[in-house]
């Protein structure tokens, strides 16, 4: 399956919003290359993000096969370590949708490093293809209920609520939802499964 044509535009919009939020935040935003706090803990990955990661893996296999093999090794190891507690289908890698599965996911692999994270450098081996969740972590964004702002706990230390709000990063949820609808694919997964063929 090919990435939808609108994915590159979505990524550009998100990256531009991040750059603007970072500009407004200045020193409040402490995110820097090598800071990998946000690279720990499992999170739900949309079919669009999974497809983007797969495209990134194909590009990495073509350009740097040894590095791609190491990413795949880390992904397989991640799955092996967490397989007994995976709240979904190990064959497909899809997360379960029941209330029980969702509750189990809340406590699932919260401390585990992302398999795309190079432990030697603290950098993402698939940075250009990273999921939207990874692209928006750091600056203040509206959480699911739309009311509260959330941001990386390392950022905005000592900032007032007004200073945090002035750096809010808008998210193109509607655009992303349209792309997912166009894809016609359902089911969320986690990074480790998306990295493997």
In tens, the pLDDT along 62-79 reads: 999 999 999 999 999 999
- Structural domain containing residue 33: 6-194
Give the pTM. Answer: 0.91
Report the pLDDT value the prediction gives residue 107, as an integer from 0 to 100: 93
**What is the b/e burial string over 7-44, where b = at least 16 CB atoms within 10 angstroms of the residue's CB?**
beebbebbeebbeebbebbeebbebeeeebebbeebbe
Does residue 1 lie in a domain region? no
For residue 41, what pLDDT is reported? Answer: 94
What average pLDDT does the chain have? Answer: 93
The CA distance from 45 to 193, in Å, is 10
In-domain check, residue 53: yes
| Cβ atoms within 10 Å, residue 59 | 14
Q: Structural domain tally of the chain?
A: 1
pLDDT greater than 70 at residue 155: yes
């Amino acid at each position: 399956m090919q990435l939808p044509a609108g994915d590159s535009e979505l990524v550009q919009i998100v990256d531009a919003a991040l750059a603007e939020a970072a500009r407004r935040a200045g020193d409040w935003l402490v995110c820097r290359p090598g800071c990998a706090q946000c690279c720990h803990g499992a999170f739900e990955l949309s079919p669009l993000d999974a497809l983007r990661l797969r495209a990134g893996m194909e590009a990495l296999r073509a350009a740097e096969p040894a590095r791609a093999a190491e990413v795949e090794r880390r992904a397989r190891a991640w799955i092996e370590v967490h397989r007994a507690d995976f709240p979904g289908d190990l064959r497909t890698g899809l997360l379960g949708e029941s209330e029980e599965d969702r509750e189990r996911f809340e406590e699932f692999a919260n401390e585990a490093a992302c398999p795309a994270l190079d432990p030697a450098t603290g950098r993402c081996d698939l940075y250009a293809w990273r999921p939207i969740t990874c692209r928006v972590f750091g600056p203040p964004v509206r959480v699911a209920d739309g009311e509260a702002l959330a941001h990386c706990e390392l950022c905005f230390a000592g900032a007032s609520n007004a200073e945090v709000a002035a750096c809010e990063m808008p998210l193109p949820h509607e655009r992303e939802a349209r792309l997912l609808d166009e894809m016609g694919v359902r089911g969320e997964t986690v990074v480790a499964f998306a990295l493997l063929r």
